[in-house]
Amino acid sequence: MILGVFDSGVGGKAIADSLTKDFPEAEIKYVHDHDHMPYGGREESEIIQLTEAALQPILGACDCIVIACNTATAAAIEYLRKAYPHEKFIGLEPMIKPAAELTKSGVIAVCATPYTLQSGRYEALKNEYANNLTVLEPDCHEWATMIEDDDLDEHEVENIIQDVLAKGADVIILACTHYHWIKELILEEVGDKAIVLDPSDAISRRVSELLKG
């Protein structure tokens, strides 16, 4: 079995590592586009172009391909499914449904890139699952670049997390795979005040479901 993983930068490595652990017999082909990240502030047409170009080395070579980037999923996955109908793509999207099921305060926070927050798919998820909730969308636009460049401002992250906690959030969604690398910092800041949802925790189950289908 060959599994492909794509992300704009280092975020997808967490997904690749998770798949390696859960599918030890599989070969993992991981590609990224560090030269053009972050994707979050780009136009949709540019994100589609960059994603398609970066995927070329693994198209036709994998049993399925994980688009391990919320931004690229929101912008490009429907185009990719139409352009490459014989490929099996799995995308990542903000975990609004599980957050809605878990919250007790009725307040959730979505940490995501600007493009993801502006996307039609994200709006549809909110309308379907969070219509009666307060959804906080803190400004995290610098996080991916800081993580990619290994130049993290921990105080900025801590201040944002403390702000959403102060506003009543009891579920925090990490809606960018880069943010996996600061999950421990966020968990330390959150303590027992909120649940932190990370998409890498569920991706192996989705791969199994797709391949069985």
What are the pLDDT tens digits along the chain (213 aa)? 999 999 887 778 888 888 998 899 999 999 999 888 788 888 999 999 999 999 999 999 999 999 998 889 989 999 999 999 999 999 988 899 999 999 999 999 999 989 899 999 999 999 999 999 999 999 998 888 888 888 888 899 999 999 999 999 999 999 988 888 889 999 999 999 999 998 776 788 888 887 776
Cβ partners under 8 Å of residue 197, min gap 6 = 95, 98, 99, 102, 171, 172, 173, 174
Provide the residue count of the chain: 213
**Alpha helices, DSSP H, located in 87-130:** 96-102, 114-118, 120-129
Please report the domains of the chain, with CATH numbers, ordered by start residue: 2-92+201-212 (3.40.50.1860), 96-199 (3.40.50.1860)
Of 62, 111, 140, 176, the catalytic one is 176
Active site residue 111: no
- Catalytic: 62? no
Catalytic residue among 62, 69, 111, 140: 69
Fill in the amino acid letter for 102: L
